[in-house]
Chain A
Amino acid sequence: MKARVHVMLKNGVLDPQGEAVRHALGALGFDGVNGVRQGKVIELDLAEGTTEADVTAMCEKLLANTVIESYSVELA
């Protein structure tokens, strides 16, 4: 089984990389991009029987830093 973890900076935490991407899009002539937030996607290849709770524990312990990041888990 596979899981996909999305990690994003929390709302309220400035994302300077997202801001730089937004500026670059504006410079390319794409108008109306009001905001860009950049995060990461982590794909996990897991043994059968791994539960969503296990993946949540992985997120809490390592994959995300919950001081600055939020995460969501998608099981496939």
Chain B
Amino acid sequence: MHAAVVVFPGSNCDRDLAVAFKSAGAKVSMVWHKDSELPQGVDIVGIPGGFSYGDYLRCGAIAANSPICRSVAAHANRGGYVLGICNGLQVLTETGLLPGALLRNAGLKYICKTVGLKVETTASDYTSGYDAGQVINIPIAHHDGNYFADDETIAKLRGEDRVAFSYAENPNGARDDIAGILSENRRVLGMMPHPERAAEAAHGNIDGAALFRALTGALQTA
């Protein structure tokens, strides 16, 4: 599996994400935001956490219009995989690859802590390594993680089994406790929590490792 991790000015989880992909057996290329093409043969693009472009205008808004994001959208539209974490989810909603938007946390505070996440579906190459309904512990670190979409979109996401993860205890006011969602073809996952920060023993928590292992497994046998 060949993973490309996009680096924007202000990304700060790009190396963590690269390490998580590598530990799961992937080859990793780092891609700068001004590059207009992804490397040849990329299976999955990782959009990391951080504060791309200083969160100017809106979180993810400027990044979504950067040269590399046009290639990322083309990759997704060809059926390629994209994993967006935290700011990565904000970027994916801004590009329109995933529905909805992220609002300021309902409590107005930046929240950095480990939370319980319920695995809502195992029917994706990201979540197949978990059990349905299993609660895993994954850190969150965000100020704008309050997922919003209209009633129709929420009903569609639920109806199509596209909610990947929900919060066991809602920390940020997200509608329907939503923490992570899948695209229609289930190959684009965006999530606020950080599985790459819970992916090896030294992190003190390896609940996120199964996501990267499942992905590598699926893409190597594909």
* A and B associate in one complex: yes
Q: Count B-side interface residues using an 8 Å CB cutoff.
A: 20
Residues of B within 8 A of A9 (CB): 103
A67 vs B173: C-alpha distance in the bound complex, in angstroms?
17
Residues of A within 8 A of B58 (CB): 65
A9 vs B58: C-alpha distance in the bound complex, in angstroms?
12
Is B57's CB under 8 angstroms from A63's CB? yes
Is B65's CB under 8 angstroms from A13's CB? no
Q: Scan A1-43; emit 1 where CB is below 8 A from any B CB, else 0.
A: 0000000010001101100100000000000000000000000
Q: State the Cβ distance, B162 to closest chain A Cβ, in Å.
A: 16
B→A interface (CB under 8 Å): 57-58, 61, 65, 93-94, 99-101, 103-108, 146, 148-150, 173
* A47, CB-defined interface residue at 8 Å: no
A5 vs B212: C-alpha distance in the bound complex, in angstroms?
43
Residues of A within 8 A of B100 (CB): 67
Q: Scan A41-76; emit 1 where CB is below 8 A from any B CB, else 0.
A: 000000000000000000001110101100000000
Give the residue of B93, B94, B103, B105 whose beta carbon is less than 8 angstroms from that of A13.
B103
Is B148's CB under 8 angstroms from A16's CB? no
Is B101's CB under 8 angstroms from A14's CB? no
Is A62's CB under 8 angstroms from B57's CB? yes
Give the residue of A13, A16, A68 whose beta carbon is less than 8 angstroms from that of B107.
A16
A62 vs B173: C-alpha distance in the bound complex, in angstroms?
25
Closest B residue to A42 using CB positions = B57
Show 8 A/B contacts (Cβ-Cβ < 8 Å), sorted by A.
A16-B103, A16-B105, A17-B104, A61-B65, A65-B61, A67-B148, A68-B101, A68-B103
